[in-house]
Amino acid sequence: MPTTLPKPIRVRGAGDLYAAIPHLMGFHPSDSLVVLVLQDNVISMTMRVDLPRPRHRGTLAAQLEAPLLEHGATDVILAVVCPPCEHMPEELPHEPLVTTLRNKLGCVGVEVVEAVWLPSCQKDARWLCYLDIDCHGTLPDPGLSAVAAASAHEGQVTFESRAAMAAIAALDPSDALERRSALLDELMTSSGEPDPGTELHRVRDAIDAVAERKGPLPDTEIVALARALAVPEVRDASMAFAIHARSRMAERLWLELTRSCPAPERAEPACLLAFYAYQRGDGGIASIALDAAEEACPGHALAKLLRGAVSAGFPPAEMRALSSKYQDDARRLLSSAQSSSGRSQS
């Protein structure tokens, strides 16, 4: 699950760097291996995986190789976040994992320049180095770090756990989803073929209304937007809003629709949520959204494409560049709808 910040942030020392991990990830990791990718002494990307069983150490090293090489990584820092073991400090938790990763990654030109163990990323947590027994320290308050301030400025929230992060995309009650599914059945059977331009106008208007709207979307609006985004041209053109001033409002709408749309239509706003989150560097939210998309519609083509990009550490800047490619499509659809409206009025 790769994550980046929109721009480099300087930290004062090792303790500040490790305290920044929750803000780089979007949540406080536990029982995790965190990989910090260094480029020109700046953290350019982070990845987090669950700590593997002993027999899976080599497999994990192989899985990390592809995104690291794709990203052009040459130097990484490893952080193992888990409870202490009984033989500390002579033997640190998961020490064989660190050795395996150093050997395997070193063979492909990726050097582990530092590896540390932490029980957590909370204030005053003591960290110890795997590569130097005399290297240790305590974490400053993560909430007061420069990275915390930068994340807050960008509107990013740091969750207490991955479970807390996942809860933001929790589905509405089943009776509400069933009610909307029935409404979608009625809408699909009683209306004609949707016009992509008209439907994209509907989506754009809903985005523009997010900031002023009080309360949740009514069922009729949820259903209308679900139908609109089910049109592939409309969903793809909606990616263009990611580089507009309305980007954050659009992301809020995708999140709301991910919670409130029935399956399989939920997959469309969930994919948009993943795209928007990842292109601004939030791999955590992107992964949660893709989980929702894949659950709503197993084998969904766009979800598979985005999952591959996220897993491979596709640079967020290049993901943002994709948004611009959809701008012409969005303009064309919006213009066609306006032209059709003008002809119908004349």
- Amino acid identity of 56? H
Residue 285 and residue 159 in contact, taking contact as beta carbons nearer than 8 Å: no
Residue 227 confidence (pLDDT) above 90: yes
Extract the tokens encoding 2: 């790769």
Supply the pLDDT for residue 42.
75
CA 201/CA 174 separation, integer angstroms:
29
What length does the chain have?
346
Q: What is the pTM of this model?
A: 0.72
Give the list of residues 6+ apart from residue 17 with CB closer than 8 angstroms, or none.
11, 36, 43, 77
Render pLDDT for 159-182 as a digit per residue (tens, 0 to 9): 787 888 888 888 999 999 999 999
Farthest-apart Cα atoms in the chain, separation: 84
**Token pair 């669950």 is at which residue?**
50
CA 263/CA 291 separation, integer angstroms:
13
Q: Which residue has the higher pLDDT, 271 or 313?
A: 271
Residue 43 and residue 178 in contact, taking contact as beta carbons nearer than 8 Å: no
Render pLDDT for 39-57 as a digit per residue (tens, 0 to 9): 776 777 888 899 999 999 9
If phi over 0 gives left and psi between -120 and 50 gives alpha, with beta otherwise, what is residue 144?
alpha
Peptide bond connecting 89 to the previous residue in cis, omega within 30 degrees of 0: yes
Determine the 3-state secondary structure of 54 from DSSP: helix
- Amino acid identity of 321? A
CA 23/CA 97 separation, integer angstroms:
25
Supply the pLDDT for residue 340.
53
Residue 90 confidence (pLDDT) above 90: no
Extract the tokens encoding 54: 């002993």
